[in-house]
Amino acid sequence: MPELPEVETIRSRLAPALAGRRFERVEISDSRLTRPVPPDAVADALEGERVADVRRRGKYLVVVFESGRHLLVHLRMTGNVLHPAPEGRKDDPHVRAVVRLDDGSDVLYRDVRRFGTWDLLEPGELDAYFAARRLGVEPLGRSFTAATFARALAGRKAPVKAALLDQRAAAGIGNIYADEALWYARIHPLAPAGKLSEEQVAALREGVRKALHLGIRRQGATLRDFRGADGSRGSMQDEFRVYGREGEPCERCGTPIVKTRVAGRGTWFCPVCQPSQ
């Protein structure tokens, strides 16, 4: 599932290709993508829109149009945006939408599991959209300080890993980067979020930022089928300290990494470096 670094990798390739381009023709072939709005209505509304920029908020790609509208693309499990369109696309049953740009090139939206979403917002609707989803601050932004992080976690009984996953304390962290951040910070994934010491919160903030920066530098993790917008593979999987490494030695202390489940998700940690108290 694409997390902040994977979405940022896609965004950074798309932004220069889309900025200034007009959506000439839009075809959306999957009604799940835009529901409850009919796909043809969204496609019609998008035609003629000119892109000002492509940004990111948490795990959302935010296509900013000159008109002030925004197209919010959430990739969920297996969504991806590809540009330029790869060879062999005509035979690809997983392409759910095609946008023809005014330079004649096509942008493809591909999604095997079909959990991704496209929401077209009118001018002025963006802040309310994110507020309704209780989306936290950007963990790589200036407002993600140890103090704001501590406030966001205060009083929460949930395991710290669950708190990282639910997007309210910081936006964009998913299963991979949560496990990696907790290892860097030497914090047990089941530690109650509201019980972390000041030092632990500061360490976790550093761990989150370190894991995300590394992920961006490695252009995301390619586990199953994640690809950058140009079809390239990321290499963050070569940097994993705990994620998916059950039984392999911890890089810090040599203890075998163990796997458990937290908030219904596979969770990997070092039982020595990340003690339960």
Nearest residue to 1 (alpha-carbon basis) of 55, 74, 61: 74
Q: Please count the other Cβ atoms lying within 10 Å of the Cβ belonging to residue 39.
A: 20
Closer to Zn ion by CB, 77 or 253: give it. 253
Tell me if residue 111 falls in helix, strand or coil.
strand
Region of 74-82, 162-170, 249-257, 261-269 interacting with Zn ion (CB under 5 A)? 249-257
Count of residues in the chain:
277
Is 272 a binding residue for Zn ion by CB under 5 A? The answer is yes
Region of 30-38, 236-244, 248-256, 259-267 interacting with Zn ion (CB under 5 A)? 248-256
Question: Of 2, 5, 159, 189, which residue is the catalytic one?
Answer: 2
User: 232 — phi, psi (to 5°)?
Assistant: -80, 155
In whole angstroms, the minimum distance from the beta carbon of 195 to Zn ion comes to 22
Question: Of 11, 59, 110, 245, which residue is the catalytic one?
Answer: 59
In whole angstroms, the minimum distance from the beta carbon of 263 to Zn ion comes to 22
Secondary structure letter of residue 150 according to DSSP: H
H or E segment and range at residue 269? strand 265-269
| Selected binder of Zn ion within 252, 259, 263, 265 (CB under 5 A) | 252
- Enumerate residues 41-100 that contact Zn ion by CB under 5 A: none
Question: Of 50, 186, 195, 265, which residue is the catalytic one?
Answer: 265
Q: Could you confirm whether 2 is annotated as catalytic? A: yes
Taking CA atoms, 1 is separated from 58, 75, 95, 250, in Å, by 13, 8, 17, 24
CA distance linking residue 149 with residue 137, whole number of Å:
9
Closer to Zn ion by CB, 101 or 270: give it. 270
Is 273 a binding residue for Zn ion by CB under 5 A? The answer is yes
* CA angle (220, 223, 226) in 5-degree steps: 60
* CA angle (154, 179, 151) in 5-degree steps: 15
In whole angstroms, the minimum distance from the beta carbon of 185 to Zn ion comes to 12
Closer to Zn ion by CB, 85 or 270: give it. 270
Catalogue the active-site residues. 2-3, 59, 265
For binding to Zn ion (CB under 5 A), which residues are involved? 250, 252-253, 255, 270, 272-273
